[in-house]
């Protein structure tokens, strides 16, 4: 499998502030790769480095095997970027903007199916567009381009639920065509629906990176229990997702499960559920575990 994006032991300083700390990430060709983390975790810094807007302090980074700081034109001719807040030329129409963006990528495909899918009127001036419609212009430009890599940073910000469904359809279709997509989103259900691989960043460091199925089920079980008294949860392999007094939601590894069940039984359980955790559960468990250390 061909590696499209690779960051190896990357550090990025802003003065005394460390935005990325020995951070490594790999995105393979054809993946829809989810990139998760709260505000300030380092996601935007990572994407700006990939776009050649920031220079790393140390480490190594490549996109298509090229250096994004030195080889900007060669890389940008092969990728499209959609930010979370799109700014457009106010006096141009949406169609004129799409013409410019298409020429920047050396041409593209028929954009009419994408205009229909996202319900965008390209004859209107950009200054009349709502935030959601400005996002649509950027999405139509990206999906109708010939770019091999799409970097999408909160791309559905401002879109209504029906258009969000169109976005899901577009991503699935483009993955089937072999395009590589790096998707950053705060909408974890969206990532869960679309991504086959997920990486989680916290305070500039990679805390987990694995296939979605592995993150959700292969290593952890999500337990919801209503208990008669607080149990002892100081157990390696157990992360507290929620603790509402008599109601607990716990993420637990296979190794810790037998001892946890024994401790729950000791305090009395009157309702119990177990299953694979959602991506949100996994995400919260990672951050809860980090705060407890």
Predicted local distance difference test score (pLDDT) of residue 80: 94
Predicted local distance difference test score (pLDDT) of residue 293: 47
Predicted local distance difference test score (pLDDT) of residue 140: 95
List, for residues 18-67, the tens digit of each pLDDT value: 999 999 999 999 999 999 988 889 999 999 999 999 999 999 999 999 99
Share of the chain above pLDDT 90, in %: 62
Mean pLDDT for 121-133 is 95
Lowest mean pLDDT among 10-24, 137-151, 264-278: 264-278
Measured CA to CA, the distance from residue 163 to residue 118 in angstroms comes to: 6
Predicted local distance difference test score (pLDDT) of residue 199: 94
Predicted local distance difference test score (pLDDT) of residue 143: 94
Mean pLDDT for 87-112 is 89
Predicted local distance difference test score (pLDDT) of residue 159: 81
221 touches 228 (CB < 8 A): no
List, for residues 172-231, the tens digit of each pLDDT value: 999 999 999 999 988 888 898 899 999 999 999 998 898 987 777 656 788 899 999 989
47 touches 151 (CB < 8 A): yes
Mean pLDDT for 82-92 is 93
Measured CA to CA, the distance from residue 126 to residue 223 in angstroms comes to: 49
List, for residues 239-264, the tens digit of each pLDDT value: 888 888 889 988 888 789 999 999 99
- What is the residue-averaged pLDDT of the chain? 89
Is the pTM of the predicted complex or chain greater than 0.85?
no
Long-range CB contacts (< 8 A, 24+ apart) of 152-155? Answer: 152/81, 152/82, 152/181, 152/182, 152/183, 152/184, 152/185, 153/43, 153/44, 153/47, 153/81, 153/82, 153/83, 153/84, 153/184, 154/83, 154/84, 154/184, 154/185, 154/186, 155/82, 155/84, 155/183, 155/185
Predicted local distance difference test score (pLDDT) of residue 126: 97
Lowest mean pLDDT among 45-54, 109-118, 134-143, 245-254: 245-254
pLDDT tier at 289, thresholds 50, 70, 90: low
Confidence check: pLDDT of 167 > 50:
yes
Length of the chain counted residue by residue: 293
């Amino acid at each position: 499998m061909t590696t499209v994006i690779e960051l190896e032991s990357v550090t990025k300083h802003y003065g005394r502030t460390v935005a990325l700390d020995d951070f490594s990430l790999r995105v393979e060709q054809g993946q829809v790769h989810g990139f998760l983390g709260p505000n300030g975790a380092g996601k935007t810094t990572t994407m700006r480095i990939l776009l050649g807007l920031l220079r790393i302090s140390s480490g190594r980074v490549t996109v298509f095997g090229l250096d994004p700081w030195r080889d900007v034109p060669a890389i940008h001719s092969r990728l499209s970027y959609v930010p979370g807040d799109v700014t457009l030329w106010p006096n141009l129409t949406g169609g004129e903007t799409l013409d410019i963006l298409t020429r920047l990528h050396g041409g593209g495909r028929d954009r009419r199916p994408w205009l229909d899918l996202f319900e965008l009127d390209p004859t209107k001036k950009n200054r009349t567009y709502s935030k959601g419609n400005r996002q649509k212009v950027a999405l139509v430009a990206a999906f109708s381009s010939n770019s091999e890599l799409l970097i999408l940073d909160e791309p559905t910000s401002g879109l209504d639920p029906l258009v969000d469904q169109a976005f899901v359809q577009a991503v699935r279709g483009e993955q089937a065509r072999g395009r590589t997509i790096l998707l950053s989103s705060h909408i974890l259900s969206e990532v869960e629906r679309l991504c086959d691989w997920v990486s989680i960043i916290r305070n500039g460091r990679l805390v987990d990176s694995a296939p979605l199925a592995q993150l959700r089920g292969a290593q952890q079980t999500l337990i919801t229990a209503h208990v008669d008294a607080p149990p002892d949860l100081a157990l390696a392999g157990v992360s507290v997702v929620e603790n509402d007094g008599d109601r607990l939601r716990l993420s637990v590894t296979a190794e810790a499960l037998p001892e946890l069940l024994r401790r729950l039984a000791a305090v009395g359980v009157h309702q119990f559920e177990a299953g694979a955790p959602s991506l949100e559960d996994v995400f919260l468990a990672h951050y809860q575990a980090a705060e407890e250390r």
